[in-house]
Structure 1
Amino acid sequence: MPIWKRNLLICWFGMFVTSVGMSQIAPVLPLYIKHLGIDNSASIAQLSGLTFGITYIISALFSPIWGMAADRAGRKPMLLRASLGMAIVIGLMGLAQNVYVLLGLRLLQGVITGYSTACTTLIATQTHKEHAGWALGTLSTANIAGGLLGPIIGGGIEESLGLQNVFFLTGALMLIAFLMTLFWVKESFTREGKEMLGVKAIWQRIPDKNLTIVVSLTYFIITLALYSIEPVVTVYVTQLTTDTTHVALLAGMAFSASGLANIIAAPQLGKLSDRFGVQKVMLIALVVAAVIFLPQAFVQDPWQLMGLRFLLGLAVAGLNPSINILIKKITPSALTGRVFGFSISAGYLGVFGGSVLGGQVTAWWGIRSIFFLTSTLLLFNAVWVYFTIYKKLNKQEEALFQQGRSGETLDIPAEVQ
C-alpha cells in the first residue's frame, strides 16, 4: 500500500475518533452535570450550553496556531500531540468531581485540538493532484461522520455502560489513534523557510486572498447549516410521531442519516471534482443542499425527515472535499497548515453558531422556520460562490485550454497550473 494511502487510513480513523470525542458529550452532558451535583434545571441548561460550546470556541482560536506549528515542525508531531492530549483529557472527564473541573477539561480539550488540521495538511501535501479530490473527499467524511454520529455513540454508551464510560472509552480510542500514528504514519518533512511569520505576514503571502475568504466563509455556512438542526431534532421528531417510547432512537437515526450519506458520497464527489472541476461540484452541491432543506419543513413523519436528511448528506458530501481541494490549489505549500487551520476554525465556529442559531430561531419563530432560514443562507452562498469562484476558475481553465491549443505562453496564476 502506498504511504499516502496508509496515512489516509490512519488519519481517517484518528479524525473520526477526534470528532466523536468533540461531539459525543452532547446527549449525556445534562445527565452528567446532574450527576456532578447540579439539581436546578435552569442551571443544568446554562452549564450544558457553556460546557458544550466552549470547546468549539477555543478550538477555533487555536486551530491556526497548531496549523502554524505543523508547517514549522511537521505534521506527524502535531498528530501525536493532539491524539495523546485528547486521550488524557477526555479520559479525565470521566473522573471529574464537579462541574467546574468538567468545564476546565472541556476548555483544555479545545486548546490541545489540532488533529484535523494536521491530518488535512499531511494528506493534502502528500497526495498527487490526480488523487487529491478522492483523498480529501475520503478524509472529509471523518469529521462530518464523527460529528453527526458522536451524539448517537455517546448516548448508546451511556445507556448500556453508564455515564463515565462514555469518556473512558472515547479516551481509549484516542489512545489507539495515538499508537497507530506513532508506529504507522510516515512523513518526510522539509521545512520551507526559517522565519516566524505572524498572521499579517501570512496573509500577505497568500496569492488569492478573495478566494481564501470565500472558501472559509463557505465552510462556516456549511457547518452552520448542518448543525442548526442539532439542538431541536429531538423536539421535531417528537412533534412528528405518536410513538413516544422510541423518540430518542428515531431522533438519533434522523440526526445520523446525513452522516451516513456523507461517508458514502464524499469520496466519489471528490473524484468528480478532480475530473470536472472543483468549482462545478461546489456550486451544484450548494444549490442542491439549499433545495433539500426546504421540504424538511413540511414532513409529516420521522421517516420522511430521515430520507431528506440522507439526501442532504449526499449533497453536502461534495462541499468539504471541494473546499479542501481549493485550499490546496491556492495556498503555497509552506503555508498550507496555517490556512487549513483558519478554515477549520471557521468550521468550528459554524458548529457553535449553528447550535445557537437553531435554538434561538426555533424559540422565536418555530421549529420549521430554521429550515427556511438555512436554505436561504445556502442559496446566498451559492450565488456568491458563482461570482467569486465558479466564473473565475472557469475563465482560468478556459485560458489554460486555449494555451494548450495555441502553444502560447500565458500568465496564468500558479494555483491553477
Structure 2
Amino acid sequence: MKMWKRNLIVCWFGMFVSSIGMSQIAPVLPLYIRHLGINNSALIAQLSGLAFGITYIISAVFSPIWGHVADKIGRKPMLLRSSLGMAIVIGCMGFAPNAYVLVGLRLLEGVITGFGTACTTLIATQTEKEHAGEALSTLSTASIAGSLLGPIIGGYISEYFGIKNVFFITGGLLFVAFITVSLFVKEAFTPSDKKSLSMKGVWESVPEKTLTITILITFFILTVALYSVEPIITVYISQLSKNSSHIALLAGIAFSASGLANIIAAPRLGKLSDRIGVHKVMLIALIVAGIDFIPQAFVTNPWQLMGLRFILGLTSAGLIPSVNILIKKITPSEITGRVFGINMSAGYLGVFGGAVLGGQVAAWFGIRYVFFITGALLLINAILVYFKVYKRMNTSIG
C-alpha cells in the first residue's frame, strides 16, 4: 500500500475518534456541571457555554503556533502530542472535583488540540497532486462522521454507564489513536530553511496573498453558516412539529441529515475537483448552499427541513475539502502547516461566531431570520469567490 493511503487511513481513524470525543462531551456538559454540585439553572447555562466555547477560542489562538512547530519538526510528532495530550486531559475531566476545574481543563484542551490540523497538513504534503482532492475530501468525512455519532454515543454512555465514563472512554479512544499513529504513520519530512520565519515572514512567503485571504474568509463564513443554526434547530423543530413527544428524535435526524449527505458526497466531489478544478466545485457549492438556506425559513414541517439540510450537507461536502485543496495548491510545502493552522483558527472562530450569531438573531428577530442572514452571507461570499478565486484560476489555467 502506498504511504499516503496508509497515512490517510490512520489519520481518518484518528480524526474520527477525536471528533467523537469532542462532540460527545458537549451535550453532557450541563449534566456533568449539575453533577459537580451546581444547582442554579442560570449558572449551569453560563458555565456550560463557557466550557464549550473556551476550547474553540483558545484553539484559534494556538492552531497557528502548532502549525509553526509542525513545519519545524514534522507533522507526526504533532499527531502524537495532540492525541496523547487530549487523552490525558479529557480523561482527567472525569476526576474534576468541581465545575471550575472542568472549565480549566477545557481551556487546556484548547491549548493542546491540533490533531486535525496536523492530519490535514500531513495528508496535503504527502499525497500526490493528482490524488489530493480525493484524499483531503475523504479525510474531511472523518470529523463529520465522528460529530454525527458522538452525541449518540455520549448520551448512551452517560445514561447506562455514568457521566464520568464519557470522559474516561473518550480518553481511552484518543490513547488508541496515539498508539495507532505511533505504529503506522510514516512521514518523509525534511526541515526547511524557512522553519524559523516569524508570522510576518510566513505571510511574505505566501505567493498568492489575495487568494489566501479569500480562502480564509470563505472558511470562516462557511463555519459561521454551518453553526449558526446549531442553537436553534431543536426550537425550530418544536415549532414545526405537531407531535411534541418526538421533538428530540426529529431534531437528531435533522442534525444528522446534513452530516450523512456530507459523508456520501465528499469523496465523490473530491474526485470531481481533481478532474474539473476545485474552484468550480467551490463556487457552485457556495451558490447552492446560499440558496438552500432561504427555503429553510419557509418550511411547514420537520421533514421538509431535513430534506433541505440533506442538500446543505451535499454542498458542504464540496466546500470544506475545497478550502484545504486550494491551500495545498497555492502554499509552499515548507509553510503549509502554519497556513493550515491559520485556516483552522478561522474555522474555530467561525464555530464560536456562528453559535453566537444564530442565538442572538433568533432572540432579537426570530428563528427564520437566521436562515435569511446565513444564506445572504454565503451568497455574498460566492460573489467574492467568483471574482477572487474562480476568475483568477480560470485565467491561470487558460
Q: So what's the TM-score if we normalise by structure 1?
A: 0.93
Shift of 1:139: 0.8
Contact 2:238 2:247 (8 Å CA) reproduced:
yes
Paired residue type of 1:69: V
Paired residue type of 1:167: F
User: Which deviates more from structure 2 when the two are superposed, residues 242-251 or residues 3-12?
Assistant: 242-251
Paired residue type of 1:327: I
- 5 Å-filtered alignment, 1:237-256, equals 237-256=237-256
Q: Which runs of 4+ in 1 moved over 6 A?
A: none
| Unmatched segments (≥5 aa) in structure 2 | none
- 5 Å-filtered alignment, 1:365-384, equals 365-384=365-384
Paired residue type of 1:162: G
Inter-partner Cα distance in structure 2 for 1:267 and 1:327: 18
Q: Secondary structure at the match of 1:28?
A: helix
Paired residue type of 1:276: I
| Unmatched segments (≥5 aa) in structure 1 | 399-417
Match of 1:223 in 2: 223
Inter-partner Cα distance in structure 1 for 2:292 and 2:390: 22
Question: Once the two structures are superposed, what CA deviation does each residue of 1:94-125 show, in whole Å capped at 9, x if it has no partner?
Answer: 11110011001100000000111111111001
Paired residue type of 2:245: T
User: Are 2:200 and 1:200 aligned?
Assistant: yes
Match of 1:406 in 2: none
Shift of 1:5: 0.7
Question: Once the two structures are superposed, what CA deviation does each residue of 1:287-324 show, in whole Å capped at 9, x if it has no partner?
Answer: 01111111111222222222211111011100111111
Inter-partner Cα distance in structure 1 for 2:117 and 2:60: 11
Match of 2:89 in 1: 89
Inter-partner Cα distance in structure 2 for 1:175 and 1:366: 44
Shift of 1:386: 0.2
Question: Once the two structures are superposed, what CA deviation does each residue of 1:336-369 show, in whole Å capped at 9, x if it has no partner?
Answer: 0000000011111111111111111110111111
Inter-partner Cα distance in structure 2 for 1:153 and 1:286: 32
User: Are 2:36 and 1:31 aligned?
Assistant: no
Contact 1:149 1:259 (8 Å CA) reproduced:
no
Aligned residues: 398
Shift of 1:52: 0.3
Q: Residues 304 and 153 of structure 1: is their aligned pair in 2 closer, same or farther, counting only changes over 3 Å?
A: farther
Contact 2:72 2:195 (8 Å CA) reproduced:
no
Paired residue type of 1:169: I
Match of 1:354 in 2: 354
Question: Once the two structures are superposed, what CA deviation does each residue of 1:49-75 show, in whole Å capped at 9, x if it has no partner?
Answer: 111000000001101111111111111
Inter-partner Cα distance in structure 1 for 2:95 and 2:252: 27
Contact 2:195 2:334 (8 Å CA) reproduced:
no
Paired residue type of 1:333: S
User: Are 2:144 and 1:138 aligned?
Assistant: no
Shift of 1:194: 5.9
Contact 1:25 1:52 (8 Å CA) reproduced:
no
Match of 2:48 in 1: 48
Paired residue type of 2:284: I
Contact 2:211 2:388 (8 Å CA) reproduced:
yes
Inter-partner Cα distance in structure 2 for 1:195 and 1:286: 35
Contact 1:11 1:139 (8 Å CA) reproduced:
yes
- 5 Å-filtered alignment, 1:15-414, equals 15-193=15-193, 196-398=196-398
Shift of 1:21: 2.2
User: Which deviates more from structure 2 when the two are superposed, residues 371-380 or residues 236-245?
Assistant: 236-245
User: Which deviates more from structure 2 when the two are superposed, residues 228-237 or residues 174-183?
Assistant: 228-237
Q: Residues 74 and 245 of structure 1: is their aligned pair in 2 closer, same or farther, counting only changes over 3 Å?
A: same
Paired residue type of 2:83: S
Q: Secondary structure at the match of 2:159?
A: helix
Inter-partner Cα distance in structure 2 for 1:292 and 1:121: 31
Q: Secondary structure at the match of 1:25?
A: helix
